[in-house]
Amino acid sequence: MSYAQRSTLSFSTRELLDLAAAWIVLSVAFALLLSREPAIGGIDPTELVRMTGLSVVTVGVGFLSHELAHKVVAIRFDQIAVFKADYSMLFIALLSAMVGFLFAAPGAVYHRGRLTARQNGLIALAGPLTNQALAAVFFTLILVHDTVGAPGIVREIGQLGLWINLFLAAFNMIPWGPLDGATVKRWNTSVFVLVFVPSLLAALYVTFVVGI
């Protein structure tokens, strides 16, 4: 494969199907989790439909942007980079959401080619940093609602988008196993700390103090 071909962002039909499947299933899984009614021990169908719509534009966008960031930076370093969905883990995500918790590992961008530790670290870092940037974008929706009185749905999208992107940034920066944080930490501990600590603190603050 030539240099020009490797440096071009492109998607096979299979990759697009994998991305779409992961986007939809992950959105539905979060919707199942967030629409549960503990008092009645079940799921409100109306709330499930509403939360699925919200999840598609918050959870789905956060996930898709995270993976595309990995792919774009990998291609920037002349890698062959492809997203592959893990359908067994997508099934587990749905099952776990149905019983009240969520374990989600929908797939990953796989790349091959020679890389330095720095390049590997930057590819891994691209995903969490993208989620941090998206969290800021969704936060502006909350400000827009509170400042100019936009429709309530704008604030709901902003709140869920802020929370899920902070969560994705913090979770993926955990320095364990195949997660991005482990790769970043192997490359540069200072960079790891500078990204992971603020991501974790922000996610905890929004979850337990703000209550989103």
Q: Which amino acid is at 16?
A: L
In this predicted model, what pLDDT tens digit does every residue of 9-35 receive, in sequence order? 899 999 999 999 999 999 999 999 888
156 has catalytic annotation: no
| Given 15, 47, 67, 156, the catalytic residue | 67
- What is the value of pTM for the model shown? 0.89
Q: Which amino acid is at 127?
A: G
In this predicted model, what pLDDT tens digit does every residue of 115-133 receive, in sequence order? 999 999 999 999 999 999 9
How many residues are there in the chain?
A: 212
Q: Give residue 179's pLDDT band: very low, low, confident or very high (50, 70, 90).
A: very high
**pLDDT above 60: residue 3:** no
Residue 148 half-sphere exposure, CB side, CA atoms within 13 Å? 5
**Residue 81, pLDDT score:** 95
